[in-house]
Every structure is written in C-alpha cells, then in structure tokens.
Chains A and B, each alone.
Chain A
Amino acid sequence: MTTPPALKLVRGEAALPPQVQELDWSILMARAQDGDANAYRRLLESIAPYLRAHAVRCHRNPSDVEDAVQDILLTLHAVRATYDPARPFGPWLTAIAKRRLIDRLRRQGRRRALETESDPIHETFADRSANLEHMTHIHDIAAALDRLPPGQREALRLTKIEGLSLKEASAASGMSVAALKVATHRAIRRLRSFFSGGSET
C-alpha cells in the first residue's frame, strides 16, 4: 500500500527540522565570519528565540531572560572567530549559551546571599493604623466604633486611641472629666458586648 503524497505547508524557519536549521546557521555563520552583515543579522535573529528558550529555563523574570540572551549574543560576537564551519553549529552555540547562563546564575546566587527577602507579611505602610497588631480585626473594630453613639465614640477616641489624659481630652472635647469617664466606660462596655455577641444594654 502506498501512502498518498501529502503537501505540507511550512511556515517560517521554526517549522524546519533541527538539522536543516543548524546547517542554515552554520552557513550563515561562515558568511558572517567573512564579513557578511546581512547573513549575520539573519543568524542572530534566528538564534535569539532558541537562546530565549534556554534562558527561560534559568530565569523567571522576563528582563533577566532578555539580559541573558544579550549576554550570550555579545559573547558569541566576541568569540565568533573560534567557529569552524566544518563542525556543527549547535554544540558551539550551546556551549557558549550554557557557559553564560551558568555564570549568570552563579552571580545571581552570590547577590541573593547578600540580600534578605522581605515577606509581604512584614510589609508596612505609611499609615500608622496599618501597623497595629491583629490587623485582621481592625475592620471589625472600626465597624463597631461606628455603631457607638457620637459622644461615646469621641470619648473613647480621645482617651483610649489617642491616649490623651482625661484633662487633655476634656480640653479637646469640651466635655467635663466626669462625663468623659462615664462615656468611655459605657463605650467600652458596649464594645465588649458587640464582640462577645451579647445584646446591647
């Protein structure tokens, strides 16, 4: 049984089998060594995705990946006289790429050793209220404060949250010291009942 002839549409260089592509690269490099700038540009444009694929395996950050690709391209440019067109291009290119990527990873490892990573949980904000402990309850507390009558809320804010003395709070709010004491006491009792789930009394 014979297989029917099939017509395959080949789009772009990426679809070529690797051997053909490597032969192509080898020829382009040989011409680049003789000074053919066009061949050189085509070669570099064609190997860049291949190098990127290598670099992606070592770096997660996209800008690191591009840095690595450029590093490899610059090394390739510097040692292009060492390529022998009689030998395959792939191992030559891969050796340079591997060397550069290993160098970069080593350098990165050293840099990391000098740095301390900060956890998001340790992050802090300019707003002072964000730095309170038990941040998980802060919204509940704010909501409970909102439910207090205005007089009690004000008394609690001045004496407990801002930490003023009774005298200072009295001067700031215009309430008497005795009234402040009573209002603060009631406010706290009411808050306690909110959080213990009891009814307001």
Chain B
Amino acid sequence: MIPTDDLISALAANLRPVRRLRPPLLRATGFLLLAALILTMIATAHGWRPGLLVRLAEIRFALSLTGAVFTGILAAFAAFVVSLPGRSRHWLWLPLPSLALWLFSIGYQCLNFWTPLVPGAPPGEMASCIATLVLTSLPLSLALALMLRHAALFDPAPVILAASLSVAGITAAALTLFHPLDASIEILMFNLGTGSLIVLSGGAISLFVSNASEKPQ
C-alpha cells in the first residue's frame, strides 16, 4: 500500500480536465429522442401494425401501450438521475405507477403465456417481430450502457435495473405498434432478466476477483 499523501500527489499530477455531465433530465431526453428516432425508422421501413387505429380505441390496448411508453420514459429518467452520486434513491419509484398500469393491462396475457403468435398471423411475422425486438432493444441498451457507464464505478445495480426497465418499456411499445402480437410479458421478463443477469454476473465476477486477489499467500 502506498501512503495516502503519495496517492493524492499521483492523482493530482495525472489530472486531466473532464467534461461535466449535462443535467440528467437533459441526457435522458437525449436518449429518448434516440429511441423516438429508432421507432420512426422502423415505422417507415416496416409500417404500422394492421388495424392499429381500431385497436387504439380499445381501452385495454391503449392502457397497455400508454403504460409501456411511460414506463420506458420514466425509467430512463430514473436511471439517469440515480446514476449520479448523492441523488436520492427515491427516484427509482418514478416508473412504478406506469409499470403497474402496464402490468395490470397485460395481466390477461398470462393465460396464453409463451404463445407470441396469434392464430392467422402471416408467415414470416415471427422473424420480422424478432427483428423489431433486436433493432429496438440492442441499440437502446448500448446507448444506455455508454451514457451511464460512470455508474459502473459507483453503484451499478439500481441503474442497470432502471435502464433495463426503460428499454423493456420502449421495446414493448415498439412491438405493440408494429406487430399484431402482445408479447409484453416476455419482453419485460427478457429485459429485466438480462438486467438481473448483468447485476448477478457482475457480483459473481467481483466476488471471484476479490477472492483471488485476497487469497493469503
């Protein structure tokens, strides 16, 4: 161990100017604009789902879509705020009402669980549906990982959870808008599952590393 004074000198000597992060709400807005851009691109390339306007008039459908969209937006805000040291953890509650709305409106799906294809869907719909999933969630997850990477050094778990919730909401909304399927539960499970997997594997790796480095000689 080097003396603390030497460490301070070394840190000060190697100091490079850094660009301050912009306010979290501004950065979250930037992220959401990126999400909107991706959705617009998919909409122009693929087109809306057939009979979207008819479905939007259904209260349950509209609630589900609203819940998913708001969960995506609010969870993104929560992730950006909580990723900063010294901000209140209570921000994590922010997406919960819309998440409850979303979950409440998709509850009926549990009955036909894991059957994402509605009967009579055109062939090739499955592949196109998965393409939408990947095209939405992958760039968004990468963007969030890049924008929130500083949290990895500070306190990653709640940030990863909020971020994956946000991606799940946006992806589910995209799927609802473009495909005649309701796979919200699957998307939610997939995204939160991935988020939890990242948290757990991070924990396992740090456990392994700390055990290896602290093993007595």
Contact = CB atoms under 8 A, between A and B. Distances in A.
Interface of A: 32-38, 40-41, 44-45, 48, 63, 66-67, 69-70, 73-75, 77-85, 87, 91-96, 99, 107, 110-111
Interface string B20-61: 110100000000000000000000000000000000000000
B90 interface: no
Interface of B: 1-5, 7-9, 11-13, 15-21, 23, 83-87, 150, 153-155, 207, 210-211, 214
A142 to B, nearest CB: 37
B38 to A, nearest CB: 27
Contact of A73 (B8, B87, B214): B8
B210 A41 contact: no
The 5 lowest CB-CB distance pairs between A and B, nearest first, are A35-B17, A91-B86, A41-B12, A92-B86, A95-B85
Contact of A75 (B8, B19, B83, B153): B153
Q: Is the interface of B mostly helix, strand, loop or mixed?
A: loop
Contacts of A67: 1
Contacts of A44: 8, 11-12
Given A73-B4, A80-B18, A92 B85 contact: yes
Q: Is the interface of A mostly helix, strand, loop or mixed?
A: helix
23 contacts: A32-B15, A35-B16, A41-B12, A44-B8, A48-B8, A70-B4, A73-B4, A73-B11, A74-B7, A75-B154, A77-B11, A78-B153, A79-B85, A79-B154, A81-B18, A82-B83, A82-B154, A84-B20, A92-B86, A95-B87, A110-B207, A111-B211, A111-B214
